[in-house]
Every structure is written in structure tokens, then in C-alpha cells.
Amino acid sequence: MKLILSFIITLSLYADSSITLAQTLITHHEGFRSKPYKDTYGLSIGYGTSLTHGISKEEALILLNYRTIALNRKLMTRAWFRNLPTMKQAIVLDLAYNVGITGVLKFKDMITALSRHDYHLAALAMKDSIWYRQTGTRAKHLVQLMEK
């Protein structure tokens, strides 16, 4: 949330002051809802952002950026993740984006292997999971990257 507010504040420095004032009014009038809700025109989320017609690629990238940064912060509190090479961190981040932090922490054999920098064994542990059997191409690709 802090990242989004910072982003909005940064944008507002370069935006017309009427935009900043309008954003203040909108957040006050709309209120915040973290889950989709029905309104007059269909589904909305957040501060009245309509989901009826989808979101733009730019909006999706802002969400992706925010969520991967948040996941990375949480994972960086763990030594086994913090001590990995960048590419291996990226693989675990992709996995966490897919199954959540709680889901990643269930990959105990993978985490043990990553702690030892045994990427072949980590890949085998990834393959030996329900996630791997259910996920398809994404899982195969991440396992291949982990093995390299």
C-alpha cells in the first residue's frame, strides 16, 4: 500500500493540482474496498475502479510490480532466500506469486536444498509436488531454470 501511495504522490507532483484534489475527493467519496463489489455499472474494486471492462496492461503491470516487491520483502527475511543468486530468487518469487508465501513455505525439501545451494535437488523437490502436476508449462519452465 505504501508503494502505491508513494507512486500516486510522485505522479501528483507532476500532475495538475486539480487531479490531486480530485483524487482526494474520490477516495473520500468512494471509500476503499479490497474485494470486488457490485455497483450500478457492474463490478468494482478499490476506490470505485470498474472491473466490468477489465483493466489496462499498464494497470496490471503496476499491480504486478507492487505484489512482487511485497513478496520479495517478505522472502528477504529468510536467509535461505536472501543468500540465493538473483535468478534463483526470481524463480522462487515466481513460485510465490503463483502459490503465495504460505505455499512456498510448504516446499520444505526445496527450501532445504536451496539452503545448501543444491539447485538440482531443489528442482527435483519442485517436480515432486502437486503444484508441478497441476501447473503445467510454468512449472516445467521454472524447474528447468532451477536446474541450470
User: Dihedral angle at the C-alpha atoms of 70, 147, 119, 73, nearest 10 degrees?
Assistant: -10
pLDDT tens-digit readout, 79-107? 999 999 999 999 999 999 999 999 999 99
DSSP 31: -
pTM: 0.79
β partners of residue 50: 44
Domains of the chain with CATH codes: 1-54 (no CATH), 55-148 (1.10.530.40)
Q: Residue 3 has what pLDDT?
A: 63
User: Dihedral angle at the C-alpha atoms of 118, 96, 82, 84, nearest 10 degrees?
Assistant: 30
